[in-house]
Structure 1
Amino acid sequence: MTDATNDKFDWAAPAFQAGLRKRKRNELWLKTLGLGAISIAFAMLLLLVGSLISTGYHAFTQTHLEIAVHFDPELIDADAPERGNYRQILSDTMHKEFSDVADDRDELRKLTKILSNRAQFTVRDRAVANPGVIGQTVKINVPVSDPYDQLNKGLINPETPEENRRLKDDEIANFNKLVDAGFVTKPLNWALLTNADSRFPEVAGLKGAIIGSAYALLVCFLLSFPVGIGAAIYLEEFAPKNRISDLIEININNLAAVPSVVFGLLGLAVFIGWFGMPRSVPFVGGMTLALMTLPTIIIATRAALKAVPPSIREAALGVGASKQQVVFGHVLPLAMPGILTGTIIGLAQALGETAPLLLIGMNAFITSAPSTPFDSATALPTQIFIWADSPERGFVSRTSAAILVLLTFLITMNAIAIYLRHKFERKW
């Protein structure tokens, strides 16, 4: 017995060396599995981001045509420029560039299809903004239609058999003439951020969705932040510790794990069904997201309050401060960095939610940005859903670009949360 026991603690004993080798192998396997898991996760992340960038970068540029437009006074009402026949003006402009098709209406119609259907409104807006251009010839950049935009970006291969592509040989030849003449440009597509949604991919943008998300998050913050902090302070500092408070705490923790679609059903039933509020408005969307964010804020606030050392409370009480003065004058300011961090993370989670907003109708086709939280609007997640479901080829790249924009907002919000945590965090 004594010899066997001594062998276990003898570094040179074979049994001890065998056990040591086994432990090192197990440790090596654990490290290998951990590094493998991290490598797989990192590779999946790179694959996701890489696929989004490779598909979405096309949407950050847009093909334009720089043409000399003659604002024919016979086709424009000088007293009301918005009533002009700008479609005919663009048709006449294309006719001048291709004078050899003067007697062929079908060919002329094909030429006008090079321009986006929204190009006439670009010309109209120029005349409305500056009526002095009526009667003059002015160079204007107008977007081309989606098939020609795809062609210019290399997404349509001219070598593909003619029957298998959207543009025929003569249409490609006409566009190449404009390219050779130097009329075609491909600037940054600021319209992706400054335009609202459209049925035409070349002019569709995220302005309405961004503003709709901003309004929804504002409503969500104004409702969930004070209510969440108030509930957390009461439960942590003032509520008696009994079965009722334990039941409330359990339910709050359970609500934080409830799928978001359940909150969407609750918002649909209560806000729209019972209260009769309108669908597709950011105000209702923000109220629904507030229901989902409340448990997260309450849990984060209680954790921040618990992190404040008891000595702070005892010292304040020792100098004669009341319970209320202790909480609001000493504990809450010290816990505020953690509270803000949890709140921002909760809002970032709300920004990326789609299911609740779909259930309350924030996936409608809205062609203008909302002016107030009570105007119909979409949000970034639902706009991505709409574009992903669209059959037009141009919306494929715009869907990926919209996801990149959403990820940018999410990363920014999380970066702000990390900054606040490191900036104001105190170590006791």
Structure 2
Amino acid sequence: MTDMASLMEDRAAAKVISDKVQKPVDWDSPKIARNIKKRYAAERRFKIYGLSAIGVALLALFVLAFSIGSKGYTAFFQTYVQLEINFDPAEIDPNGTGDPAVIGKANFDDLIKKALLARFPDVTDRRDKRDLYGVVSGGASYDLRERVMENPNLIGQTRKIWLISGDDFDMLNKGYIDANVDEGSRRLNDKEIGWYDALVSDGAVEKKFHSRFFTSGDSREPELAGIWGAAVGSFYTLLVTLFLSFPIGVLAAVYLEEFAPKNRFTTIVEVNINNLAAVPSIVFGLLGLEVYLNVMHLPRSAPVVGGLTLALMTLPTIIIASRAAIKAVPPSIRQAALGLGASPVQTVTHHVLPLAMPGILTGTIIGMAQALGETAPLLMIGMVAFIVDIPGGALDPATVLPVQIYLWADSPERAFVEKTSAAIMVLLAFLILMNGLAVYLRKKFERKW
């Protein structure tokens, strides 16, 4: 009887619950209306929070881009000074032989000094002369030498030649030096300001596109420094990195995803690969310093060493991205290939890899873009050296764009500030281009399953 009573009570309770559940909902009730209003308000707040976050991010990006661009765009232009140069045969080719070896050894710097003194004959003091010679860059004599070597007919003539100015006069012409402040508070004295004003009044000062910035290597003189040496060094470094990390990374991803047995060993390998992706880059620099330089005795500050070091850093990124792309290929593709008689290797090489290649390339390009912007590991292996010559191969001494930016940022001259910002702009352009290429490849070759 007790069991029967308990059963009846349970049925009664179930009926009450069923009646409550089946009771129709009054959608017009104030309570339901308040709940719906709260949900819509929460949704609007969530959208506002998301849009605000995006706005803050875009604002920060704009401020960063404007700060760099406003300081760096002037580096793409350089001040030139026009002087009347007398290509004196007694100075350039005394014997009139026309021998390039003789012309190449001529003192073209003296020709520029004579032209400056002829333009400002009242300058007689030794200190004033030294300041006057700073109107023109020390590298202008090399430009004159190249001009005469290309056209020996200039010897014996007097021509008005545009010569690259010194860095201080360039900064004055660009407005970075205020001529109205006290003389002790600026790098140029009143006499130098007067010489500049005299040249401007004669129309002998002009800003021109600074092609040397893109075609020359580093220099102690800001007006002569360029990024081409660092760009070539970055190219060779990334080339070595790509040739090593791409095939090794893809093969490792294929083995782990398609052929490796699921046991303790492969689990340990996978965990370590994921951990390596989060290791600070300077640790790879220490590893490269010890293995490649101290043990293998490879050339210091060479792109081959930088490429080997960056390959170690890039490998985990490529392996993880490649595994994700391979895993995204539907199992039906593998089953169909195996069902038609293809071997496991043929299935992977003929079907899985081609379909996963867009994702693999995307991960590889992102990894290479990360390697392009790295500085810390390259500092550890000595690629911070001052390199003037353009590297001719992966074994020649070189530097890379991030390290070049680091070197210029540490220089005391004001003119290197704009060089630093301009080099950052070039580096960001390369990074945006590489990431844009990754997005394009993913969109172009992406398959919908």
Q: TM-score range by the shorter chain?
A: over 0.9
* CA positional deviation for 1:112: 1.5
Does residue 1:183 correspond to 2:194, yes or no? no
Letter of the 2:31 counterpart: A
Instruction: Provide, for residues 47-101 of structure 1, a one-character-per-residue CA deviation record: whole Å limited to 9, x for no partner.
Output: 0001001111111110011223222222224532221112211111112222343
- The runs of 5 or more residues in structure 2 that have no matched partner are 1-15
* CA positional deviation for 1:217: 0.3
Alpha-carbon distance between aligned partners in 1 of 2:24 and 2:245, rounded to the nearest angstrom: 61
- Determine which structure has more spread, i.e. the larger CA radius of gyration: 2
Among 76, 101, 107, which residue is 1:85 paired with? 107
Would the alpha carbon gap of residues 331 and 6 (structure 1) be closer, same or farther in structure 2, given more than 3 Å must change?
Answer: closer
Q: Which residue of 2 aligns with 1:67?
A: 83
Q: Which residue of 2 aligns with 1:255?
A: 276
Does residue 1:123 correspond to 2:144, yes or no? yes
Does residue 1:324 correspond to 2:361, yes or no? no
Alpha-carbon distance between aligned partners in 1 of 2:25 and 2:212, rounded to the nearest angstrom: 74
Letter of the 1:91 counterpart: K
Letter of the 1:164 counterpart: S
Does residue 1:265 correspond to 2:286, yes or no? yes
Letter of the 1:280 counterpart: S
Alpha-carbon distance between aligned partners in 2 of 1:276 and 1:244, rounded to the nearest angstrom: 33
Letter of the 1:341 counterpart: T
Where 1:286 maps in the other structure, the secondary structure is helix
User: Which 4+ residue blocks in structure 1 deviate beyond 6 angstroms?
Assistant: 1-8
Does residue 1:53 correspond to 2:69, yes or no? yes
Where 2:320 maps in the other structure, the secondary structure is helix
Q: Provide the TM-score with structure 2 as the length reference.
A: 0.91
Alpha-carbon distance between aligned partners in 2 of 1:425 and 1:137, rounded to the nearest angstrom: 65
* 1:337-356 paired onto structure 2 within 5 Å: 337-356=358-377
* CA positional deviation for 1:401: 0.5
Among 13, 27, 37, which residue is 1:21 paired with? 37
Q: How many residues are aligned here? A: 427
Among 207, 210, 229, which residue is 1:208 paired with? 229
Letter of the 1:22 counterpart: K
Q: Which residue of 1 aligns with 2:396?
A: 375
* CA positional deviation for 1:293: 0.6
Which range moves more in the overlay, 401-410 or 258-267?
258-267
Does residue 1:112 correspond to 2:128, yes or no? no
Would the alpha carbon gap of residues 282 and 8 (structure 1) be closer, same or farther in structure 2, given more than 3 Å must change?
Answer: farther
Q: Which residue of 2 aligns with 1:41?
A: 57
Does residue 1:11 correspond to 2:27, yes or no? yes
Does residue 1:392 correspond to 2:408, yes or no? no
* 1:278-427 paired onto structure 2 within 5 Å: 278-427=299-448
- The runs of 5 or more residues in structure 1 that have no matched partner are none
Would the alpha carbon gap of residues 303 and 113 (structure 1) be closer, same or farther in structure 2, given more than 3 Å must change?
Answer: same
Alpha-carbon distance between aligned partners in 1 of 2:111 and 2:32, rounded to the nearest angstrom: 93
Alpha-carbon distance between aligned partners in 2 of 1:258 and 1:204, rounded to the nearest angstrom: 35
Judge conservation of contact 1:7–1:13 (CA < 8 Å) in 2.
no
Letter of the 2:63 counterpart: L
Alpha-carbon distance between aligned partners in 1 of 2:24 and 2:325, rounded to the nearest angstrom: 48
Alpha-carbon distance between aligned partners in 2 of 1:287 and 1:132, rounded to the nearest angstrom: 51
Q: Percent identity, please.
A: 55
Would the alpha carbon gap of residues 323 and 4 (structure 1) be closer, same or farther in structure 2, given more than 3 Å must change?
Answer: closer
Does residue 1:132 correspond to 2:153, yes or no? yes
Alpha-carbon distance between aligned partners in 2 of 1:52 and 1:320, rounded to the nearest angstrom: 59
Give RMSD over aligned pairs. Answer: 1.8
* CA positional deviation for 1:188: 1.0
Would the alpha carbon gap of residues 7 and 381 (structure 1) be closer, same or farther in structure 2, given more than 3 Å must change?
Answer: farther
Alpha-carbon distance between aligned partners in 2 of 1:416 and 1:91, rounded to the nearest angstrom: 51
* CA positional deviation for 1:4: 7.9
* CA positional deviation for 1:341: 1.1
Letter of the 1:16 counterpart: I
